[in-house]
A and B are shown apart, each in its own frame.
Chain A
Amino acid sequence: MDQNLLKQINTDRAARLATILITDLKTGTQRVVRESELDSGDPLHQDLLAAFRGGKSRSLETESGELFLNVYTPPTRLIMTGAVHISQALYPMARACGHDVVIVDPREAFGTNERFPDIDLITGWPGDHFPNLGIDAYAAIVTLTHDPKIDDPALEFALNSKAFYIGALGSRKTHARRVERLTVAGFSEEQISRIAAPVGLDIGAKSPSEIAVSILAQLTAALRLRTSGEQAG
């Protein structure tokens, strides 16, 4: 591998850009393709698209020989509002699944280091902090306070982002009122339908830990199944 290619991959990874390194295993020639610059004229367009979606490295048989696609996708992040009981259960589980976790809650009594040791905890309002978090297609947003003052600005930001998953805690009734508010704020029905609410897979979850499992399962499906319907792991 050329040293400059290695440097480029590392720079892209640090900037949270998804890239694929393509290696011709017979000749050793290599090139790098960025997801943001994927060209529909590329002879490997479909394979590259599927590889970016699945996030999984693989070898590929072509007429001219075997290629290896090494996929580098940014680490996924889970951004939550609410340093609440459910987030106490959810954050270690999310970490175990490989997601970086950020919690935003303006209420000082909730977001204490004692309740959330060793975590990126922001004591402030989502409207002030979400724009600085670099929320991209590898971020998931889950609102857990069911306080419109805190959750609504987070959801409004999420709906304008490329986040791969948006979930909002709250009963059907709470969500119906939320939909009304977001509609008044100018969001279309299609945009609002991106929000998973009531959040989580319907597995009859009762305790905070069980609700965390249902949220994480739904988030995982959103990440791994994406629009291609292709399963990756």
Chain B
Amino acid sequence: MSDMERRDDILTIAETWRNSGREVALATVISTWGSAPRPTGSQLVIDGDGNFEGSVSGGCVEGAVITEAVGVISSGKPALLEFGVADENAWELGLSCGGKIRVYVEKVN
């Protein structure tokens, strides 16, 4: 396995974190429009303290996803998030590339 895959291996990190007793959520890019920076299927793993690995947007909306993920970890309920230029928060969230993405956030139980 190459270094690139190891760095990108979000599911292995998720399992390792979970096995060590940490609360874990996974965020997955469900769909993209326009010039979204990361393809569908890209993932982010987040723990209950907001530590994370991976990327869903190359850095643009990770902050918001992490905040939501911490909420998903405490509620246990999945969330479907949408970011993009049509969203009034788009500029403040920084997806200024003009793309649009939907992200599914779920807890690992």
List the interface of chain A (C-beta within 8 A of B).
1-3, 6-7, 9-10, 13, 23, 25, 28, 56-59, 68, 70-71, 75, 95, 98, 100
Q: Are B104 and A7 in contact (CB under 8 A)?
A: no
> If the complex has contacts A56-B41, A58-B40, are A75 and B5 also in contact, measured as CB distance less than 8 A?
yes
- Complex: A214 Cα to B80 Cα, angstroms: 43
Which of A6, A7, A58, A95 contacts B2 (CB under 8 A)? A95
Which of B12, B41, B107 contacts A10 (CB under 8 A)? B12
Q: Are A1 and B2 in contact (CB under 8 A)?
A: no
- Complex: A59 Cα to B78 Cα, angstroms: 16
- Complex: A70 Cα to B106 Cα, angstroms: 14
Instruction: Count how many chain B residues have C-beta atoms less than 8 Å from C-beta atoms of the other chain.
Output: 24
Q: Are A10 and B108 in contact (CB under 8 A)?
A: no
- Give chain B's interface secondary structure class: mixed
| List of B residues within 8 angstroms of A9 by Cβ | 11
- State the Cβ distance, B43 to closest chain A Cβ, in Å: 8
| List of B residues within 8 angstroms of A56 by Cβ | 40-41
Binds A, one of B25-33, B48-56, B61-69, B91-99: B25-33
Q: Are B18 and A6 in contact (CB under 8 A)?
A: yes
Give the nearest-CB partner of A26 in chain B.
B80
Which of B1, B28, B39, B78 contacts A100 (CB under 8 A)? B1
- Complex: A9 Cα to B26 Cα, angstroms: 14
> If the complex has contacts A7-B15, A13-B11, are A75 and B2 also in contact, measured as CB distance less than 8 A?
yes
Q: List 11 A-B contacts (CB under 8 A).
A: A2-B108, A3-B108, A3-B109, A23-B106, A25-B80, A28-B77, A28-B106, A68-B28, A68-B104, A70-B28, A75-B5
Give the nearest-CB partner of B40 in chain A.
A57
Q: Are B15 and A1 in contact (CB under 8 A)?
A: no
